[in-house]
Amino acid sequence: NAGVTQTPKFRVLKTGQSMTLLCAQDMNHEYMYWYRQDPGMGLRLIHYSVGEGTTAKGEVPDGYNVSRLKKQNFLLGLESAAPSQTSVYFCASSYRPGLAGYEQFFGPGTRLTVL
């Protein structure tokens, strides 16, 4: 099993450009998440999905859109990139939360720089 994978690993954009980050998981998890990590800080939740075709806002959703057309994929889009979106982006996935909780598994991250 590959676990959680992210594409691309690195990207440099100019202000105003758009791009899509792809997250894929092969663990048949229902839940998927997108986080961003700024220097010296913990991760903050951008958007998440509780199942195919559903998405919800997290802590810092502004400037991002997401889609979950297939259970195994979760896409994060930046329509018009801004320098404030320079960050490292992590994707994660988990089973549906239950009485036993829900361990999250993280991808390797995508380092995005917006000039």
The angle subtended at Cα 114 by Cα 111 and Cα 115, nearest 5°, is 135
In the complex, what is the shortest distance from the CB of residue 16 to another protein, in angstroms, rounded to a whole number? 27
- Kindly state whether residue 104 participates in binding another protein, applying the rule CB under 8 A: yes
In the complex, what is the shortest distance from the CB of residue 72 to another protein, in angstroms, rounded to a whole number? 19
- Enumerate residues 4-63 that contact another protein by CB under 8 A: 31, 33, 41-45, 48, 50, 58
The angle subtended at Cα 102 by Cα 51 and Cα 35, nearest 5°, is 65
The stretch near another protein (CB under 8 A) out of 18-26, 65-73, 77-85, 101-109 is 101-109
In the complex, what is the shortest distance from the CB of residue 100 to another protein, in angstroms, rounded to a whole number? 8
Give the contact letters, 54-83, x = binds to another protein (CB under 8 A), - = no. Answer: ----x-------------------------
DSSP assignment of 24-78 equals EESS--SEEEEEEE-TTS-EEEEEEEEETTEEEE-SS-TT-EEE-SSTTEEEEEE
User: Would you tell me which residues interact with another protein (CB under 8 A)?
Assistant: 31, 33, 41-45, 48, 50, 58, 88, 90, 97, 99-106, 108-109, 111
